[in-house]
A and B are shown apart, each in its own frame.
Chain A
Amino acid sequence: MAGAPNKDFGLAALRVVELGEKHPASIRMTALREYVIYSPTTSVLRGIAPETQPRQPLGLSGGRLPEAVHELLKLSKLDPLAKDVCQDIFGLVHWMIQFGSSPASQLLLSPAASSTSHVVEFKDRFMKKGRNMLSGYDASEGVLYVLFLAVLAVHPRAPQFCAVDNADHGLNPGLAKAVFAKFSEWILRSNPARQILLTTHNPAVLDGLPIQDDRIRLFTVDRDNVGRTVVKRVEYTDKMKKWGEKGWTLSRLWTNKMIGGMPDV
């Protein structure tokens, strides 16, 4: 209750000191202490607006993406998961045959447009050779969000426990489904294990979630008649399986108000 004294305040921190830093409870406490909520925005990802909440490897609005992408590519030479993630990115973004980052001064980009020293760059599959480099400023925003999620999934300095608000931002329905299918795979393979909370308002995202795997959990949020928040887990039951066999997708179940999380409007 707001304002009431919490008699347990500080106890957990004291216990952690006694347990030592390798104890599972200590590791969990560290993860909780480092918990952050990311809310990436297109202008920060493009490098045309400054990051107001900088962090390593990514700012809470998506700042530092060029540097983090560079680190991801370096990591992909050593780490099998990072290598697969980079490979998967090409499968998700067909128009791109290369990605990386460069000093903003090396690209055809107005100095006035860029607020960062480096920008993400892409090589386009279709444009004329030699003139097919695009900066994060020019590229479709979807690819920037894909890179943002990829970094969050495998970068060694990314938090073990965090949230991404409106994780579907800038993604068309096909990409949204495919990205979150891949993102689920990446997170499940990450070592050390990571836990990421995502919020979405895009039905297509649900179609990418393998909720038959108990580690991937879907919750719907509603409000009851007096305005209280009601959270319900959407479990993969026999009944759900049967709906699936009949061809129903999770997105359709959601939009038809069959799993909750859909207000009357």
Chain B
Amino acid sequence: MSDLVRIGLVSEGITDYVVIHGSVRSILGDRTYDLKLLQRESSAFHARHFGGGWKGVSGWCGLVCQRNGGLAEDIVLDTYDILILHLDADVADENEPSKRLPCAVPCPPASATTDALRAVFLSWLNETTLPERTVFCTPSKSTEAWVVEALFPQDSQWKKKRECLPKPETRLGQQPLSARLQKREADYWKHAPRFSTEWPRVAKTLSEAGRFDREFRKLLP
């Protein structure tokens, strides 16, 4: 009998997928898994990033609500053993009252904002509590914080604020020429093995990474 773990990842974009893939790979070790990125269906003629970004995540939630009124009864939970709901903490700064945003509060602690954002995320899914086999992944301020900690933990600007540093992605380009990377899929795939090998340390250092690590492990079948 296969012990394959089927994981659905509702996420803002492909670069987030690569990073979260690294953490999942580290957590699961020798266990086999199939991680699929779930995004709202879209056409190239739509406005830019229709299927991606936080609006894409919000749109995906909207479709779930249309289908079944909420996530708990949705077919997606029949398809996957674990569903990861990803949203960067800096989404809390967006000004979109119809989506219950902004909801940011001062950082630290990072969890103050991510807790508020998780509640907003649940409201998009028409739920008040997280359905079973579902886990949040809310890096602060964004997934790039996990990238910076994995690849450039000694970066001086980063070390000052870590999870409270706005726009951590700017640190990726502020490294020695041979080490710097851009926020694009090809660059991220090149570093994917390190996202995985460095994950235990990242999870120990960054509170939101550690939170995801703990909550994900609890759901493992």
Q: With a CB–CB cut-off of 8 A, which chain B residues contact A91?
A: 185-186
Selected from B41, B42, B45, B62, the residue in CB contact (under 8 A) with A236 is B45
Is B177 positioned at the interface, with any CB of A under 8 Å from its CB? no
- Residues of A contacting B: mostly: helix
CB distance from A187 to the nearest CB of B (A): 13
Is B33 positioned at the interface, with any CB of A under 8 Å from its CB? no
Once the chains bind, are A210 and B59 in contact (CB under 8 Å)?
Answer: no
Kindly count the residue-residue contacts between A and B in the assembled complex, taking CB atoms under 8 Å apart.
47
Once the chains bind, are A250 and B45 in contact (CB under 8 Å)?
Answer: yes
Q: With a CB–CB cut-off of 8 A, which chain B residues contact A94?
A: 189
Alpha-carbon distance A38/B42, docked complex (angstroms): 29
Quick one: given A90-B186, A91-B186, A247-B59, are A207 and B40 in contact (CB under 8 Å)? Answer: no
Is B1 positioned at the interface, with any CB of A under 8 Å from its CB? no
Alpha-carbon distance A209/B45, docked complex (angstroms): 7
Please give me the residue from chain B that is nearest to A181 by CB atom. Answer: B44
Please give me the residue from chain A that is nearest to B40 by CB atom. Answer: A247
CB distance from A52 to the nearest CB of B (A): 35
Q: With a CB–CB cut-off of 8 A, which chain B residues contact A181?
A: 44
Once the chains bind, are A244 and B43 in contact (CB under 8 Å)?
Answer: yes
Once the chains bind, are B189 and A249 in contact (CB under 8 Å)?
Answer: no
Is B160 positioned at the interface, with any CB of A under 8 Å from its CB? no
Once the chains bind, are A209 and B40 in contact (CB under 8 Å)?
Answer: no
Is B46 positioned at the interface, with any CB of A under 8 Å from its CB? yes
Q: With a CB–CB cut-off of 8 A, which chain B residues contact A247?
A: 40-41, 59, 62-63
Please give me the residue from chain B that is nearest to A245 by CB atom. Answer: B47
Please give me the residue from chain A that is nearest to B37 by CB atom. Answer: A174
Once the chains bind, are A206 and B43 in contact (CB under 8 Å)?
Answer: yes
Is A184 positioned at the interface, with any CB of B under 8 Å from its CB? yes
How many of chain A's residues touch chain B, expressed as a range? 20 to 34
Residues facing B in A231-256 (CB within 8 A) are 236, 240, 244-245, 247, 249-252
Alpha-carbon distance A47/B186, docked complex (angstroms): 29
Q: With a CB–CB cut-off of 8 A, which chain A residues contact B59?
A: 247
Please give me the residue from chain B that is nearest to A253 by CB atom. Answer: B43
Residues facing B in A55-108 (CB within 8 A) are 87, 90-91, 94
Once the chains bind, are B41 and A249 in contact (CB under 8 Å)?
Answer: yes
Selected from B43, B63, B189, the residue in CB contact (under 8 A) with A251 is B43
CB distance from B43 to the nearest CB of A (A): 4
Residues facing A in B49-97 (CB within 8 A) are 50, 59, 62-63
Q: With a CB–CB cut-off of 8 A, which chain A residues contact B50?
A: 244
Alpha-carbon distance A211/B63, docked complex (angstroms): 24
Once the chains bind, are A250 and B186 in contact (CB under 8 Å)?
Answer: no
Selected from A87, A90, A184, A207, the residue in CB contact (under 8 A) with B43 is A207
Q: With a CB–CB cut-off of 8 A, which chain A residues contact B46?
A: 244-245, 249
Is A208 positioned at the interface, with any CB of B under 8 Å from its CB? yes
Alpha-carbon distance A64/B124, docked complex (angstroms): 52
CB distance from B59 to the nearest CB of A (A): 7
Once the chains bind, are B43 and A249 in contact (CB under 8 Å)?
Answer: yes
Is A212 positioned at the interface, with any CB of B under 8 Å from its CB? yes
Alpha-carbon distance A94/B186, docked complex (angstroms): 10
Q: With a CB–CB cut-off of 8 A, which chain A residues contact B189?
A: 90, 94
Once the chains bind, are B43 and A250 in contact (CB under 8 Å)?
Answer: yes
Alpha-carbon distance A249/B46, docked complex (angstroms): 8
Alpha-carbon distance A244/B40, docked complex (angstroms): 13
Contact flags A209-239 to B (C-beta < 8 A → 1, else 0): 1111000000000000000000000001000
Q: With a CB–CB cut-off of 8 A, which chain B residues contact A212?
A: 45
Q: With a CB–CB cut-off of 8 A, which chain B residues contact A207?
A: 41-44
Identify the 6 closest CB pairs spanning chains A and B, nearest first.
A210-B44, A249-B43, A207-B43, A250-B43, A244-B46, A211-B45
Some 23 contacts from A to B, beta carbons below 8 A apart, are A90-B186, A90-B189, A177-B44, A181-B44, A184-B44, A206-B43, A207-B42, A207-B43, A207-B44, A209-B43, A210-B45, A211-B45, A236-B45, A240-B45, A244-B45, A244-B46, A245-B47, A247-B40, A249-B43, A249-B46, A250-B45, A251-B41, A251-B43
Give A residues with C-beta under 8 Å from B. Answer: 87, 90-91, 94, 177, 181, 184, 206-212, 236, 240, 244-245, 247, 249-252
